[in-house]
Structure 1
């Protein structure tokens, strides 16, 4: 083979290798982060509950990732709903934001996490994700929830939670 032919073959081979790698770019995985108040570690079948039937959640666990050994100290004694949600969204332990007072509401001192610094929505956005939050309205880190690209609440969920009516559609 002459040098010209060798170079031509090498160039064609390199171009094919580069174009193949460009076509094989992997997509980022979708992230669905579910967090339930006061949920036991074995609350669904996929996490070890032999009684409760949860086929849709089980399918998500099978296809994805479940934090099986996570622990969240939401208060002085155990996991508590609002502090646990605040800590999850802020990335800060309860004891690191308990002296924070929200702007214009000093009565809420220590009840919600500050919205500054690194937090869950900002971290996901910096990784290139579009963020969506849907949850209970109230004492759950409103300064951080405002950082999501879309932030939805359950409307008047107090009435729905107290009615005892199963199967309600929440839009």
Structure 2
């Protein structure tokens, strides 16, 4: 155990050097998982080292939660302007929808993506099989045939 602040560059450097020496002694590669701030610092330490040093053989991996945040944020960035934010705003508040598309609100993002998937799947399957959606039934008859209590 290294008894220092984990975000201290000396602590990260000591850990990287220890792990790389152990991996070299065992003739294997070392894989280290960090959360995003420590991953960034470790990546900068390894990047600045010469190519012939064992530290270059360390494989860094972004932690699962931060990887998911980055992935969801990437999807939100790619889908920007497609109407996904406006769609999410029908269920969530505008600020929450912005946090969902930026990857900050993971639980809401996962639920929101499931809601979008379910809605799109329902629309596609209704067109394929000729089954009218509930709003189509309501618009054609003027009432809601699926749930007559709703008028």
Question: What's the TM-score, normalizing by structure 1?
Answer: 0.23
Higher helix share: 2
Structure possessing the higher radius of gyration over alpha carbons? 2
